[in-house]
Amino acid sequence: MANVIFRSSPLTKPGPEPRLKTPGPVLSLSTCYPAPCRFNFHFGFAFAFALAFPFALALAFALCAGLLLLPSQARAEVQNGAPTYAQHPEALAFVAQLAEREQLSAAQSAKLLETLGQAHFLKRVPPLMLPAPSGTAKNWALYRSRFIEPKRIQAGVKFWRQNQATLNRAQARYGVPPEIVVGILGVETLYGEQMGRFRVLDALATLAFDFPAEHPRAAERQAYFQKELAQFLLHQMPAQRLGSYAGATGLPQFMPSSIVQWAVDFDGDGRLDLDDVKKPADAIGSVAHYFQAFGWKAGQPTHWAVQIDKDRWQQPENEDKATLLAPDILPSFSAEQMASHGVNVKRPQTSDPKDRLALVELQNGSDEPSYVVGTENFYVITRYNWSSYYAMAVIELGEAVAKAKLKKAP
């Protein structure tokens, strides 16, 4: 990975290929602290940490200074009782733990606290993280229609033509074909048209400290967003940076840890810029590098069509389908093993018989499901978004753009 320059130097200085560090203790769930007299309470609260953390005395003074350094509008909101994280007890504990783990100086700790103090609780974000109500039928045809549609295909053709050389260079370096990169950027942001309107700092703080407790994996997901918030703070990403309600940002909608680990300065200008729609080279290179890092195999298809022995599957107590779906989308079977369970994989004889495959079921509401067999490259796409529906949308959008591009060729 090329060295990159953020808008300001990170507090921790990674090498050429920075990696996400092991997170500290997971903090418990909470809601924004609305009590009055917050200044006095948290001044004492920060000093209390001195018993457990040697640097906490510095944090206490940093807290006082941080409140005074907030922009005037944010200061007024704090004084009026609007929820911010400048005075949130778990946010203070989070900064204390982060400072101890990273061995930050008092000045660096104060900087973290000052930035986090600018974060606002976003009331409408936590409900957006809740899964669909139980019993809601998945519908691949409906999901597909949101992305494989004329506007997105036409925009993809234009994007591909304008960035042909960069897409080819990314394929040469990382082995990822243009249609996959084009599919990702089209599904994620419509090639930069829809990059999100939430401040990433606000979204990450809200989900790090106020993740909805009713989520079935609340503790796990909250820990994830705390790791992302840590990366945002440690690398001093701009407080005004915009993105999705989940904290993803830029043309490829990278989370902070993905920016730190996988983003590349692909145009070689010394700056990392994932937001520039007119110069998307960094976004293109970063997506391709991400897939290479997760094991993309150059030249391997993403999936194969299948023919299923439905009569066999419908026999009483038949376990073939259950057996094949048990590993979910993790490639676990050879084509021979799939055939032994009633699934004939339609692949050329030249394909590698050692390839591991996964049966992918795409539900269609009340209609019969659709099935394909995913390769290891299909699985790699799901590392970007853990959904087989998402992966198929990326693949089919890329294919549709490639087809339209050929039709419009002079």
Residue 305 belongs to what H/E stretch? strand 303-308
* Among 90, 114, 179, 188, the one annotated catalytic: 188
Residue 199 belongs to what H/E stretch? strand 198-199
Q: Which residues contact 212 (CB under 8 A, 6 or more apart)?
A: 126, 127, 129, 130, 218
Render each residue's pLDDT in the chain as its tens digit; 410 residues.
333 333 333 443 333 333 222 222 222 222 222 222 222 323 333 333 333 344 444 444 444 444 333 333 333 223 334 478 988 999 999 999 999 999 999 999 999 999 999 999 999 999 999 988 877 789 999 999 999 999 999 999 999 999 999 999 999 999 999 999 999 999 999 999 999 999 999 999 999 999 999 999 999 999 999 999 999 999 999 999 999 999 999 999 999 999 999 999 999 999 999 999 999 999 999 999 999 999 999 999 999 999 999 899 989 889 999 999 999 999 999 999 999 999 999 988 778 888 999 999 999 998 999 999 999 999 999 999 999 999 999 999 999 999 999 986 65
**Assigned token pair, 330:** 């993790």
Are 338 and 357 a contacting pair, CB within 8 Å? Answer: yes
Length of the chain: 410
Residue 278 backbone dihedrals phi, psi, to 5 degrees = -80, -20
Which is nearest to 392 in space by CA: 210, 139, 115, 211?
139
Residue 161 belongs to what H/E stretch? helix 150-162
Q: What is the pTM of this model?
A: 0.80
SS3 of 328-374 = CCCCCECHHHHHHCCEEEECCCCCCCCCCEEEEEEEECCEEEEEEEE
Handedness of CA 395, 398, 400, 402 (dihedral sign): negative
Known catalytic residue at 368: no
3-state class (DSSP) for residue 29: coil
d(CA 179, CA 186): 10
Nearest-5° angle of CA 34, CA 39, CA 40? 110
3-state class (DSSP) for residue 317: coil
Nearest-5° angle of CA 242, CA 246, CA 251? 50
Are 92 and 205 a contacting pair, CB within 8 Å? Answer: no
| DSSP result, 57-75 | HHHHHHHHHHHHHS-HHHH
Are 187 and 397 a contacting pair, CB within 8 Å? Answer: yes
**Assigned token pair, 14:** 């990674």
